[in-house]
Chains A and B, each alone.
Chain A
Amino acid sequence: MRNRKPVYILTSLFITSFAIIGMLAFLSKKAITKKNGFSRRLLTSALIPRKQITVPTKLVKLISMQSGKIFFQEESPYEILSTNFSLDSLHAIKLHLSADKKLGTNVRMFIQDHHLYLASRDMPAIITYDLESGNAYNHVLRDYFNQETMFSTDHFILKARDRASESHRFIKLDLNIKDSIPEDNFSDRKVIGGFETSGKLYYDTATKQACYSYFYQNGFICMDSNLNLTLKARTIDTITHRDIKVARIARSLTMKQPPQLINYNGCVADGKLFLESMLKADNEYELDFNENSIVDVYSLKDGGYKGSFYLPAYKGKKAHQFQVIDQKLYALYGKTVVLYDLEFIADL
């Protein structure tokens, strides 16, 4: 009888420890700490990974899909990767470009037919590379830029820095016409530096608009290919002002302190903007928000909010880039690409 006492003690300790863990997990789900003053409407419980592929090097960007292939940009600008839609195969395509120090991490690639475009922000230039012949041509630009999107063959919209005023504005670039570079008429030329209006530029083929979402302020804008403002929309957060202080150190401009990110990653597809928000809604659990990326969906026709979903982390890492193609979401996690079904967006 005396020998059984430790068994009882151990059993009760075991049950108590589980009860405590359960209670703490329940309380952590209940604990909604910081209020940001807005709510989200979740479209689905969780995205389920359908397929995945791991490649030898870190991926920077999903370039594009065409002819049944998906192209990926690697950290090195001298090679790109291609796979099929279901991520079953992998091919490396070597780019025979002459080595250049400025052709480093600040390059974003685009593909149209057999033409690969390398937008080099550090040069500044757009390099056209023929994937069939291996010939390259360097289109050197006057102004530095830090966002770019291609809207048709040889045509780009860039967010570029004006050397004289130090302000940033959108410019339209036709690689075949070098003399005339039209500028938008809505950017504020009094804002010095690109920090306050930092963001991400996309092109939606469905609505034929270039759209730009802000990193540090509420909302997004869209423009047509002639740089006319077509949409100015609010995002669901309640941020009303941008708290950015620009510091001038000799000739350089920087920010005095890192501001709160409002929205960061994003992509456009079929008339919708998929925007990763960095702010937790009041009806969200801290744990869900911290362990996943929350993506808000907006219409690019009227700017309306459609709903949100969680993009899961992979091996503890959040996606650093994602792209929606044909109701499928491809998320990049370092060297891994994960494919998720996104069928519910068809009804939005």
Chain B
Amino acid sequence: MKKVKLSLAALVLIIAIAGTATANANADQLEPCKTFDPKEQICLGGSDLECCEDGGGIRNYP
């Protein structure tokens, strides 16, 4: 019984870690240029000059 409980706990932990990692990856994908310009100070958009791009979109210079 103890072994089963331990296995279940390990499984829950693995699923939680995997879920968090996937959610973070998806969040990065949804927010364009999050890794390059996390504070949104460079690629503010407005002009036609491309500043940064990734799976979340394309950002231009102001």
Query: Is A172 in contact with chain B by the CB < 8 A criterion?
Result: no
Please determine whether A163 and B55 come into contact, CB atoms closer than 8 angstroms. yes
Whether the pair B53, A105 counts as a contact (CB closer than 8 A) is: no
Bin chain B's interface residue count.
20 to 34
Identify whether the interface residues of B are mostly helix, strand, loop, or mixed: loop
Cβ of A104 under 8 Å from chain B: yes
CA distance A195 to B50 in the complex (A): 7
Question: How many angstroms from the CA of A198 to the CA of B61 in the assembled complex?
Answer: 12
B35 touching A194, Cβ below 8 Å: no
Q: Contact mask A8-37 → B, CB, 8 Å, 1/0?
A: 000000000000000000000000000000
Q: Is A121 an interface residue, CB under 8 A from the partner?
A: yes
Residue in chain B with minimal CB distance to A108:
B48
The reply on A99 being an interface residue by CB < 8 A is no
User: Of residues A104, A145, A146, A194, which shows the largest number of chain B Cβ atoms within 10 Å of its Cβ?
Assistant: A146
Closest residue of chain A to B37 (Cβ to Cβ) is A252
Q: A105-B46, A200-B48 are in contact. Are A194 and B57 (CB under 8 A)?
A: no
Interface residues as binary, A184-203 with B (CB distance below 8 Å gives 1, 0 otherwise): 00000000011100101000
Given that A121-B58, A144-B58 are contacting pairs, would A251 and B35 also be in contact in the complex, using a CB cutoff of 8 Å? yes
Inter-subunit contact B52/A104 (CB<8 Å): no
- A122 neighbours in B (Cβ, 8 Å): 32, 45, 57
Residues of chain B in range 29-57 having any CB-CB distance to chain A below 8 Å: 29, 32-37, 44-46, 48-55, 57
B residues in contact with A219, CB < 8 Å: none
Given contacts A124-B57, A252-B35, A252-B36, contact A146 B45 (CB under 8 A): no
Indicate if the CB atoms of B58 and A250 lie closer than 8 Å. Answer: no
A144 to B28, CA, bound (A): 15
State the A residues within 8 Å of B (CB). Answer: 60, 104-106, 121-122, 124, 144-147, 161, 163, 193-195, 198, 200, 215, 249-254
Given contacts A105-B45, A251-B35, 20 further A-B contacts (CB under 8 A): A60-B46, A104-B45, A105-B44, A105-B46, A121-B57, A122-B45, A144-B57, A144-B58, A145-B58, A146-B60, A193-B53, A194-B58, A198-B49, A251-B28, A251-B29, A252-B36, A252-B54, A253-B53, A254-B51, A254-B52
